[in-house]
Structures are given as C-alpha cells and as structure tokens.
Structure 1
Amino acid sequence: MAPDALKTRKRSDYKFELEYRTRWSDNDMYHHLNNSIYYFLFDSVVNTYLIKHCSLHPPTSSQIGLVVHSHCDYFAPIEFPAVVDLALRVVKLGKSSVTYEIGVFERGHADVKAVGEFVHVFVDRESRKPGKQGMANNLKEGLQNIFVDSAKL
C-alpha cells in the first residue's frame, strides 16, 4: 500500500489495541525510538492477541507461527517518555498464513507515527510445514474477529 494512504490511518481503523510505555533504553542516539524497537512492538501486539484471543499457547501448541515477512513505514518519531498505543488488524487471512497491519500511535496525538506489516505462516511445530488443514480453527476464528476487508482499505 502507498505510504500516503497509510499516513491517514486512525485508531478507529483497527480492532485491537495494546498499550506500551517507552523506556529510556528504547531511544537511539538521535533521541527517538530505535527502528528495532518497532519490530519488538509488532511482535508483542501480535503475540498478545494470539495468546489472549486465539487460544495460542506457544510453549505447547502443535502449530507455531513463523514470521516470513515484515516491514515498517515511519512517518514521525516517538521519543522517551511516551505511552504508545499499538493498534492491530488482520488484512489478509489465508489457509495457513495471516497478514497483520499494526498502527503505532502516541498517546495524546491523533496522527499515526508508523504503520507496520507482519506476516505469519502457521506450521506444524515438528515438521515446520503447513498442515493439510491449514491453521487451527481457534486461530482462524480469533483472527477473523480482527479482519478488515482489504477492499475497504
């Protein structure tokens, strides 16, 4: 998606939110959140949703999600101290894969600071291959709850 379209994202475009309080160590030498922290945040919001709303229990689940793609478009910096709202939605839901979009908002500001994309492929823990039936029903049902039709984006 074109970065200009992503810049118009609002919190209401997403279906799940997670709060994060920045830490002094999140800053880089330019005094704003280091790029690697955004990927840490993406992983955190996605896995929090999977654990709380999709019955995923990573240490014992027979299926695991492998990240096969991720990227981030940055629009404005965030610096310590700040409270960040991580907003999550699913934009593509396949048989064994899911594409998430994450909006990063700073508390007290309406404009989106960054928008990320994160793609999981759910595979069998042992074989590391997608199962014939695709992802487990509990995963698919939970992810469907935050799905937003890409035709409406």
Structure 2
Amino acid sequence: MSYRELKDRKRKDYPYILESDNDMYDHMNNSIYNFLYDSVVNTYLIEECARHPPTSPQYGLVVHSHSDFFGSIAFPAVADLGLRVNKLGKSSVTYEVALFERGVEGVKSVGELIHVFVDRESGRPAANGMDNSLKEGLQKLFITKSKL
C-alpha cells in the first residue's frame, strides 16, 4: 500500500468504527498515565540533559515503575505533569512524576520510574556512571530531604 493510498482513506473504507474518548469509564485510562510519565521523563532528558535517544552513548532502561492514583482526570481537562528526582545514584535515577489537572492544586496521581543508564555498545550499566551532562541535568531536579 502506498503512502498516497493510505492518506486518501475515508471512514467508509473501514467496516468497523469504535467511538472512543478517554475511556469507557469517562476518565483517562491508567495506561495513559504511564505513557505521560514516560513522556515527561524523556522530554526532560532530551531538552535538559543532552540526550538523543537513538544515538546517545548512554540511554536509560526502566527497571521499575509504579503509580498511585488519588483522583481522576477526564476530557476536556488538561493534564500537567510535575517531575522531580528523589534518588540519584552512579548509574541509576529514581524519578517521581505527579499528574495534575490544570487549574487544580491537588495531585491526581504520582508515579515512580527508575532508570538504569547503560552504555549503548555493551547494554550494561555505565561502568563509570552517568556522563556529566546527564548527571548535571538530573541534579537540577534532585530533591533532598533538607529541601522538603
């Protein structure tokens, strides 16, 4: 199938159409929360830590993730995401991501992701730890207990 043929498709070309909003329970599905958590982390790494996912000598592997949900967000609300670093190791980082509904102060969910940064060539944890641009960028988000 050519690009042009795909671009010219119409609704009538599909015998089954499913209407969908956030999800059938009138709230954003939890898989979307996880997608958003991953998106905010990677956007920060690209914009603030000089990461280029396909070519950077080091990249992060998610070795742990979880979410705690405190409230729903539903269309047409806008989701805002907060990001912080709670632990910064030699080759690993623990992120905390908060999802807020725009205009609402209280958090709707909090997620945690742990990245282990590996060397692209070996696929093993970075022997000398994270490179300087990565560590410096993550340090800006590091929240110590004394900052609480």
Q: Same fold (TM over 0.5)?
A: yes
Bin the TM-score by the shorter chain: 0.7 to 0.9
Deviation track 1:80-126 (CA, whole Å, cap 9, x = no partner) reads 11111100000000000000001110011111000110110000112
* Partner residue of 1:77 out of 72, 83, 101: 72
Structure with the larger RCO, 1 or 2 (CA within 8 Å, 6+ apart): 1
Q: Which has the larger radius of gyration?
A: 2
SS in 2 for 1:143: helix
* Partner residue of 2:136 out of 137, 141, 150: 141
TM-score between both structures, scaled by the size of structure 1: 0.81
Aligned to 2:53: 58
Residues in 2 aligned to 1:112 and 1:128: alpha-carbon distance in whole angstroms: 36
Residues in 1 aligned to 2:40 and 2:21: alpha-carbon distance in whole angstroms: 17
Gaps of 5+ in 2: 1-18
Give the deviation of 1:132 after TM superposition: 1.8
Gaps of 5+ in 1: 1-23
SS in 1 for 2:118: strand
Aligned to 1:113: 108
Contact 1:92–1:150 (Cα < 8 Å) also in 2: no
Give the deviation of 1:150 after TM superposition: 3.7
Q: Give the residue type in structure 2 aligned to 1:52.
A: E
Shift of the 68–26 alpha-carbon distance from structure 1 to 2, 3 Å rule, reads farther
Please tell me the root mean square deviation across aligned C-alpha atoms, in Å. 1.5
Give the deviation of 1:135 after TM superposition: 0.9
Instruction: Using the aligned pairs only, state the percent identity.
Output: 68
Q: Give the residue type in structure 2 aligned to 1:135.
A: M
